[in-house]
């Protein structure tokens, strides 16, 4: 079987890599949801975090650029993905690269002096066991923010440095949720346990 070789210039490769994934998905009628400075898209029941031309699959713990996205989720080969992104096929045509925003330095939201609101919300409203909450609070992975009294879920890197913070409103009437500016999606809140139990928040 003869395989056709297609040459792509470095400029074409760079253009394809820089395609704004959220804009591409919207152009195809897909639903993307804004979350702070990022977007969320669903791969079935799993969440994929999108920031400009980059994506990260929260369940598989994998990510990449726009080319990787089309290959992974559209089941295309590298040449097919390139043609798709550059508009040479019947697929998406994205005419401009994303606006690259300067990423703000990551800082955790200021903590409140107690956890009454967040603890009550997570325990009573969300039904999370008190002992489970206390364990994560002790590890400084969950706390209450000072100004809006959000429940804050902190993600750490391998050196135990905070790199991600997801905020969830605790008021009964609030549906707010979003990530702190500068959060890195690859370090979102997670726990690698050794028991047979799974904790969902």
Whichever domain contains 62, its CATH number is: 3.90.580.10
Tokens encoding 155: 């993600």
pTM over 0.85: no
Distance CA 79, CA 28 (A): 20
Domain-located, residue 97: no
In sequence order, the β-bridge partners of residue 38 are: 35
Of the candidates 33, 68, 86, which is a domain's last residue? Answer: 86
The residue segments making up the domain with residue 70 are 10-86
Domain identity same for 20 and 61: yes
Domain-located, residue 50: yes
Give residue-wise pLDDT tens across range 44-62.
778 899 999 999 988 888 8
Predicted local distance difference test score (pLDDT) of residue 153: 96
Q: Of 16, 6, 7, whose CA–CA distance to 95 is shortest? A: 16
Contact 22, 31 (CB under 8 A): no
pLDDT tops 90 at residue 159: yes
Domain identity same for 78 and 24: yes
Domain identity same for 120 and 158: yes
Domain-located, residue 103: no
Contact 48, 55 (CB under 8 A): yes
* Number of domains the chain is built from: 2
Domain identity same for 125 and 81: no
Mean predicted lDDT score pLDDT of the chain: 84
Of the candidates 41, 68, 86, which is a domain's last residue? Answer: 86
């Amino acid at each position: 079987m003869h395989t056709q070789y297609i040459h792509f210039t470095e400029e074409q490769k760079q253009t394809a890599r820089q395609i704004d994934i959220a804009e591409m998905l919207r152009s195809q009628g897909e639903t993307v949801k804004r979350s702070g400075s990022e977007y969320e898209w669903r791969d079935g029941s799993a969440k994929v975090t999108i920031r400009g031309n980059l994506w990260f699959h929260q369940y598989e713990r994998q990510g990449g650029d726009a080319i990787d996205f089309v290959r992974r989720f559209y089941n295309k080969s590298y040449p097919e993905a390139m043609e798709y992104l550059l508009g040479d096929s019947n697929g998406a045509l994205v005419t401009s690269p994303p606006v690259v925003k300067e990423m703000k330095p990551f800082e955790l939201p200021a903590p409140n002096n107690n956890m009454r609101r967040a603890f009550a919300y997570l325990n009573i409203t969300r039904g999370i066991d008190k002992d489970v909450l206390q364990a994560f609070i002790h590890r400084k992975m969950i706390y209450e923010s000072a100004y809006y009294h959000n429940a804050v879920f902190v993600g750490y890197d391998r050196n135990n440095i905070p790199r991600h913070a997801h905020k969830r409103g605790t008021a009964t009437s609030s549906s707010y949720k979003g990530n702190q500016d500068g959060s890195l999606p690859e370090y979102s809140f997670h726990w690698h346990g050794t028991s047979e139990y799974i904790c969902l928040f």
